[in-house]
């Protein structure tokens, strides 16, 4: 007597949502926002074209999840870099410039998504939550550097210049084809430039008093 045919098992992919985000980030690194589609992400993840829609209602929702993941990863790296830099506040804040630059050059994903894509509701809050977390980390580090009577607005302006300078440097190095081979050197230069900006700002504040 032959053995009974085992029942067919349904498709099992583990955490499909997380896998779709991972593959979405990889696709963004290769093709940018212009080359991003749900169908392409599905192919990379090895699932049907309909499977992603169980987790993301449309392309923008998946893009928003990818953007939030990028911001979360960057924030985690900035926190780790500051901790590794030691107790000196200037060193801690300057270290975030190196970590940010390293992330951009090594991962090559999300620059056009984070700063150029205009997310609509209901996806905007997903981005705003992680953006606030990133800002809060930098504001805390900057507050440790600046005089205690520095206003919130002046601290926010200081953070804006710090992040803009770092992002600008990383963006100039990022050419969309392959990362530079000397990532360590570029990250170190970003730290040096950030430290020069921080110490220069502190000197100007001292002279103005």
pLDDT in tens, 39-56: 999 999 999 999 999 999
**Taking 90 as the threshold, does the pLDDT of residue 82 lie above it?**
yes
**Taking 70 as the threshold, does the pLDDT of residue 175 lie above it?**
no
Q: How confident is the model at residue 5 (pLDDT cuts 50, 70, 90)?
A: very low
Q: How many C-alpha atoms does 17 have within 13 Å on its Cβ side?
A: 8
Q: Which residue has the higher pLDDT, 106 or 44?
A: 44
pLDDT of residue 2: 42
Most confidently modeled range among 4-13, 108-117, 184-193: 184-193
The alpha carbon torsion through 147, 153, 154, 156 (nearest 10 deg) reads: 100
**Taking 50 as the threshold, does the pLDDT of residue 4 lie above it?**
no
pTM for the model:
0.84
Average per-residue pLDDT for the chain: 86
pLDDT of residue 178: 52
Please answer whether residues 95 and 84 qualify as being in contact, where contact means their C-beta atoms are separated by less than 8 angstroms. yes
**Taking 70 as the threshold, does the pLDDT of residue 76 lie above it?**
yes
Which string of DSSP letters, residue by residue, matches 137-195? HHHHHHHHHS-TT--HHHHHHHHHHHHHHHHHHHHHH--SS---S-HHHHHHHHHHHHH
Q: How many CB atoms lie within 10 A of CB 169?
A: 19
């Amino acid at each position: 007597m032959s053995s009974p045919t085992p029942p067919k098992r349904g498709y099992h992919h583990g955490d499909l949502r997380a896998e779709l985000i991972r593959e979405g980030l990889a696709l963004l690194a290769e093709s940018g926002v212009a080359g991003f589609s749900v169908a392409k992400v599905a192919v990379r993840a090895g699932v049907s074209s309909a499977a992603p829609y169980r987790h993301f209602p449309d392309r923008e929702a998946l893009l928003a999840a990818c953007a939030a993941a990028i911001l979360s990863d960057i924030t985690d790296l900035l926190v780790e870099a500051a901790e590794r830099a030691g107790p000196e506040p200037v060193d801690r804040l300057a270290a975030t410039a190196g970590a940010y630059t390293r992330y951009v050059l090594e991962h090559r994903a999300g620059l056009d998504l984070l700063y150029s894509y205009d997310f609509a509701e209901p996806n905007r809050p997903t981005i705003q939550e992680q953006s606030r977390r990133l800002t809060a980390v930098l504001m805390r580090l900057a507050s440790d550097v600046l005089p205690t009577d520095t206003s919130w607005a002046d601290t926010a302006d200081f953070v804006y210049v710090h992040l803009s300078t770092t992002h600008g440097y990383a963006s100039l190095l990022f050419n969309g084809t392959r990362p530079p081979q000397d990532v360590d050197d570029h990250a170190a230069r970003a730290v040096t430039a950030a430290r020069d900006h921080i110490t220069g700002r502190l000197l100007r504040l001292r002279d103005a008093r």
